[in-house]
Chains A and B, each alone.
Chain A
Amino acid sequence: MAQVIIQTIDKISADRKTNLALYKAGDVIDVVEDSQIWTENELTNPKYRIISLPGVPKSDIVDALLEGEDPELVAEPIRRLRKIDYSQVARLGGKDRGNRQSQKDVVTPAEANSITVLKSRIAKVIG
């Protein structure tokens, strides 16, 4: 079971290439297990948002993120361009919505199914 922690504000650099490598709102910073115990700063800092995905194995999210990478672009700072492939998200369906927890959002499979990439979905959640 997985939780995703995302960036909610843009980090900006005047240098174009450096700017590409900086986290922007909606970017996935990390994917962790449901059992993750967050620090107070991670739970309350407004620049983060934690998305709980009940019933979704961490490995499925990680695999989906990695499949968005283009190996031909490894020289570029592409890590924050990773996206979760829609088909990967779609096949995760069928779980019930969990309770909304403090400082966390719970994304249902149905919601995940309704968007092309989870990254966009997350942007909507925090918006």
Chain B
Amino acid sequence: MVTTVDKTVGGTSPDYTTWALWEADGPLVLANVEKWPSDNFSGTFVQDEALTWTSSTGTLIDTDNSTYMVIEVLTGSLANNDAISAAGSGASCDIDTPVTDSGGAIWRGLQRDVELSGSVTIDGHTTTATQYMHMDAESGASFVDQAERALFYDSANGAAITNGSDTITFSDDFCRITRLQVQVDTGAHARSSIRVNSVDTFTVDQCIVESDSDSHKSAVGCSSTSTGTQIVSNSVVVNKRTGNSRAVAIGAATAITVLCYNNIAVVPSNFTDTAGTGFGFNGTSLVTVQNCVALGYNTSYEDANIDTASYNARDDGNTDVGTGSIAVTFDDTLIKETDSTTGLDARITDASSALYGAGNTDASYPTDIFDQTRKTGTDGDMGPYDIAAAAAGGPKNPLAGPLSGPLAGPLG
């Protein structure tokens, strides 16, 4: 089994105060991580310190200093009754059996409900499809956990990361980012909010990604030397600029698989885009775009480079992107708020929206951005938010969102 090593990031008394420190402590080779029950603890081990035991060496990945050790084995191997010692802290313990997990690790950071300012580059870790680096939000800390909040970058709604340049750069294979808000703000070096640099496979799911960059970079940008399967799903991507920017740009010199499901890309109505693209792809990629919405861009989709398209919406004057696709007018009958000066809200308005019931829920993506079950098949809505699902399932935390209707206003 693969062991998931969770570490909190930011906020009060976290394991790491910044994402860069979390990344720096990640295992070098995630497949070499093992979790063992342990006993006879003496002293207190220190995170990431060097360990030695019978003709072997390793690095401490995690422990409760009481019942278990998670160790990256650098040389040798682990076995029952191995006496582990750390020269740095002076701590020691004994390995017990049976091994809990010997199948490597997922190194997962869980951001607290704060906005962190800074960048992180994930690089230098040897990963696999099942052993990878994962940026996520702590339970209850994501905007996802505050269902029925407006869909735009707002640190008041949950864990968020902002920076003046490439906010997050993935240079390791198989990285994932979920349930976070990511922004690149204006700055002399402003580039992508999420930059994917020559990797095999990455996943962006249930994220709000905002770019305030005018430097002709993409909010989610994947370099042309990437491989594998690149996935962007259930996400909101916002370009607050009018230049030659893209919301999602994915391409490769060799054929890769690109999957875009249930996303909305928006240039807020208080900007006039003259050269940008919502969803842009390289011609050699095998691209699927389904249930997506592109609003406010000069070009909604690079149609010629999409292989399989269906049930998408656009407002750039072109007719459609595949079966079931529609041309729409970008106004506040479509989504709740189009203007970012008063707070963009990318949720569709109600059953009168042209996006309502116009999509086709894919079986691989049965839930929406708020983790709520989508309507089935062609009853589904376009974009990341399925309005009827919200009404049927209700918010996860009904006290978290603002009250409406007869319950609105102060109590008493």
Contacts of A66 in B (CB 8 A): 165, 188-189
Question: Is B47 within 8 A of A41, CB to CB?
Answer: yes
Is B164 at the interface (CB under 8 A from chain A)?
yes
Question: Is B14 within 8 A of A75, CB to CB?
Answer: no
Residues A29 and B28 in contact in the complex (CB < 8 Å), given A21-B171, A74-B197, A75-B198: no
Contacts of B28 in A (CB 8 A): 11, 13, 18, 22
Main secondary structure of the interface of B (DSSP, over half): loop
Question: Is B123 within 8 A of A21, CB to CB?
Answer: yes
Which residue of B has the minimal Cβ distance to A76? B198
Contacts of B405 in A (CB 8 A): none
* A68 → chain B closest CB, angstroms: 11
Question: Is A11 within 8 A of B124, CB to CB?
Answer: yes
Residues A30 and B118 in contact in the complex (CB < 8 Å), given A18-B126, A39-B13: yes
Question: Is B48 within 8 A of A47, CB to CB?
Answer: yes
Encode A21-53 as 1/0 by CB contact (under 8 A) with B: 111000001111100111101101111000000
* A73 → chain B closest CB, angstroms: 11
Q: B17 contacts which of A18, A21, A39, A77 (Cβ < 8 Å)?
A: A39
Complex CA distance for A107 and B17, rounded to whole angstroms: 22
Encode B44-82 as 1/0 by CB contact (under 8 A) with A: 001111000000000000000000000000000000000
Contacts of A13 in B (CB 8 A): 28, 124, 126
Complex CA distance for A15 and B88, rounded to whole angstroms: 26
Count of chain A residues near B, Cβ 8 A: 32
Q: A45 contacts which of B15, B46, B123, B164 (Cβ < 8 Å)?
A: B46
Count of chain B residues near A, Cβ 8 A: 31
Question: Is B17 within 8 A of A37, CB to CB?
Answer: yes
Complex CA distance for A126 and B159, rounded to whole angstroms: 34
Question: Is A63 within 8 A of B189, CB to CB?
Answer: yes
Is B2 at the interface (CB under 8 A from chain A)?
no
Contact residues, B3-18 vs A (CB, 8 A): 13-18
* A25 → chain B closest CB, angstroms: 13
Contacts of B48 in A (CB 8 A): 45, 47
Contacts of B403 in A (CB 8 A): none
Encode B185-207 as 1/0 by CB contact (under 8 A) with A: 00011000000011000000000
Contact residues, A59-91 vs B (CB, 8 A): 59, 62-63, 66, 74-75, 77, 79
* B216 → chain A closest CB, angstroms: 12
Contacts of A33 in B (CB 8 A): 117
Complex CA distance for A74 and B188, rounded to whole angstroms: 18
Which residue of B has the minimal Cβ distance to A66? B189
Contacts of B155 in A (CB 8 A): none
Question: Is B20 within 8 A of A42, CB to CB?
Answer: no
Complex CA distance for A41 and B18, rounded to whole angstroms: 13
Residues A77 and B165 in contact in the complex (CB < 8 Å), given A11-B28, A36-B17, A42-B21: no
Contacts of A38 in B (CB 8 A): 17
Which residue of B has the minimal Cβ distance to A74? B197
Chain A residues within 8 Å of B, Cβ to Cβ: 5, 7, 11, 13, 15, 18, 21-23, 29-33, 36-39, 41-42, 44-47, 59, 62-63, 66, 74-75, 77, 79
For this complex, 13 residue pairs linking A to B, each with C-beta atoms less than 8 Å apart, are: A7-B24, A23-B124, A29-B20, A30-B118, A33-B117, A46-B88, A47-B48, A74-B197, A75-B198, A75-B223, A77-B171, A79-B123, A79-B171
Known contacts A23-B124, A39-B13, A39-B15; 4 further A-B pairs (Cβ under 8 A): A13-B124, A30-B118, A33-B117, A66-B189
